[in-house]
Structure 1
Amino acid sequence: MKQNDTGLIGDISGALRLLTRLPMPASERIAGPRAAWAWPLAGAVVGGLAALLGFVALPLGAGVAAALVLGAQAMMTGAMHEDGLADTADGLWGGWEPARRLEIMKDSHIGTYGVMALLVLGLVRWSAIATLLTGGVWWGLIAVAVLSRAPMAVLMTAMPNARGKGLAQSVGQVPQTSADIAVMIGLAAAGCLGWSGLWMVLATAMVVLALALVARAKIGGQTGDILGASQQLAEAAGLVVLAATL
């Protein structure tokens, strides 16, 4: 049976349907741009389930537990953010002009830049997650998962769509209010970690700003792949800073 959900619950369920592959009740409602405020909450669900798995698997060793956390996150999201990271790396550095870069990003094949981006960032995330699990800071994984979804809403509000079609374009223009709420939710999650959370926010803002500047210079705006890459870079930055400061 399909449910015609509206309001806050509808936005949250719409965010989960858009950003995860978790089983959700069928709905006639498509997650619109207003629901972007709930993207960090979808991250909380993904991060919470992954952190629980990491906690349970910790007796197997921090390295194994961290690998399982990464695998669980990819399964729950359909690896859509990782795919965006790989396509972004291939496109932004594999072409010489905007049209060619966008063409490369649309190609389903993965190139050398994409492989290296996934490998390097995967190792960075794995190492930081292992450190956090060893230190018993499993809740930090949830905070990072929440914070890392907020930049996607910000980029969709602040930057034009470079391609004019695709998943990011189909979602629509995210209202400023929705982006602001997403940021506030992310800041609240980071605030639970004290000064470490502050440094985590600063690191996240810096890497996302750098990505935004490069994307604007190379393709003229954002795409769904850029949004996915922003989540991965924000998560990696947050995890590293958190592991280093706690």
Structure 2
Amino acid sequence: MHSFLIGLQFLTRIRLVNQTEWTAEDFGRSTRFFPLVGLVLGICYASAAWLLVYTKGLFGMQALPTALLLILPLVLTGGLHADGFMDTADGVFSGRERERKLEIMKDSRVGSFGVVSFVLLMFVQFSLLFDMHPLLLVPALFVMPIIGRLAMVLAVSCFPYARKDGVGKTFADMGDRRTVVIAALTTTALVLPWGTLAAAALVLGTAFALLFCSAMTKILGGVTGDVYGAATVLTETLVLAVFSLASTHPNVWGILWK
């Protein structure tokens, strides 16, 4: 429980208990509980989606509820993963040598590549949410953060850390096969009850996270804390894409929604 609360406090702005004393072991062990952190976020996102879907019909608005659903993850996570995504974009797209890319990613300032990439990502996510069938919004937003946190666990545990030190290395040092198994079983138990469409999102999200981190390892010589964040938000976007694309074929998702 202690490690879960540490993970919740680190990855979100949600404070069930204010943790002030963290050991490196507790910090690293929290990795296996990341999907449970995703569960907490998923409950918040799905509840907001349920509320906004019904108020949308009441007030006749479409774009505003979608924008609020887009903003909510940034508020609840403090933009942590979005910051990692932007830093990764700055480094990877800089065209510099590996060491210089890592230096750029470590810089707290956001560059033009990061800003442009994030704006484009927000446009894509907005479009996916806007086009999604209302009946799929709740399950999509429930499983999205859970699968996204599994992607982070895979990045932490299955790939070498690119730097000699850093906050992310604390997680990487504790990431092992047991961590992956616990996180994978937890994610599977939470996602599969939502049907075949959710299962498809889980499979595709897992495959994407592994391919993305493999590509980053080739470019950077490993992964970093910023890559953890990038893997999370990109995997979440893929999950939204699965549900949104299914929305355009009601006969298909009607069969999968079982």
- TM-score, normalization by structure 2: 0.85
Mapped pair 1:39 → 2:34: yes
Mapped pair 1:177 → 2:172: no
Q: What CA distance in whole angstroms lies between the structure 2 residues aligned with 1:185 and 1:25?
A: 22
Q: What's the C-alpha RMSD, in Å, of the aligned pairs? A: 1.9
% identity of equivalent residues: 27
Q: Judge which range, 103-112 or 170-179, deviates more.
A: 170-179
Aligned residue runs from structure 1 range 43-192, under 5 A: 43-58=38-53, 59-60=55-56, 61-132=61-132, 134-135=134-135, 137-171=137-171, 172-192=173-193
2:161 counterpart SS class: coil
Alpha-carbon distance, 1:235 to partner? 0.2
Partner of 2:17 in structure 1? Answer: 25
Q: Deviations over 1:53-78 (max 9, x none)?
A: 23223324343222112212111111
Given the superposition, is the C-alpha separation of residues 103 and 222 from structure 1 closer, same or farther in structure 2, using an over 3 Å criterion? same
Partner of 1:214 in structure 2? Answer: 215
Given the superposition, is the C-alpha separation of residues 241 and 25 from structure 1 closer, same or farther in structure 2, using an over 3 Å criterion? same
Q: What CA distance in whole angstroms lies between the structure 1 residues aligned with 2:121 and 2:185?
A: 26
Q: Judge which range, 227-236 or 62-71, deviates more.
A: 62-71
Any unmatched runs of 5+ in structure 2?
A: 247-252, 254-258
Q: What CA distance in whole angstroms lies between the structure 1 residues aligned with 2:107 and 2:133?
A: 37
Given the superposition, is the C-alpha separation of residues 161 and 138 from structure 1 closer, same or farther in structure 2, using an over 3 Å criterion? same
Given the superposition, is the C-alpha separation of residues 169 and 56 from structure 1 closer, same or farther in structure 2, using an over 3 Å criterion? same
Partner of 1:240 in structure 2? Answer: 241
Q: In 2, are the aligned partners of 1:148 and 1:232 still within 8 Å (CA)?
A: yes
Alpha-carbon distance, 1:136 to partner? 5.0
Letter in 2 for 1:96: R
Partner of 1:196 in structure 2? Answer: 197
Alpha-carbon distance, 1:20 to partner? 0.7
Q: In 2, are the aligned partners of 1:132 and 1:138 still within 8 Å (CA)?
A: no
Q: Judge which range, 86-95 or 195-204, deviates more.
A: 195-204
Q: What CA distance in whole angstroms lies between the structure 2 residues aligned with 1:112 and 1:203?
A: 30
1:198 counterpart SS class: helix
Partner of 1:5 in structure 2? Answer: none
Partner of 1:3 in structure 2? Answer: none
2:174 counterpart SS class: coil
Q: What CA distance in whole angstroms lies between the structure 1 residues aligned with 2:196 and 2:133?
A: 19
Q: Deviations over 1:32-62 (max 9, x none)?
A: 2222121111111112212222322332434
Q: In 2, are the aligned partners of 1:35 and 1:178 still within 8 Å (CA)?
A: no
Q: What CA distance in whole angstroms lies between the structure 2 residues aligned with 1:241 and 1:80?
A: 24
Q: What CA distance in whole angstroms lies between the structure 2 residues aligned with 1:185 and 1:64?
A: 34
Q: What CA distance in whole angstroms lies between the structure 1 residues aligned with 2:161 and 2:73?
A: 27
Letter in 1 for 2:245: A
Alpha-carbon distance, 1:126 to partner? 2.0
Partner of 1:12 in structure 2? Answer: 4
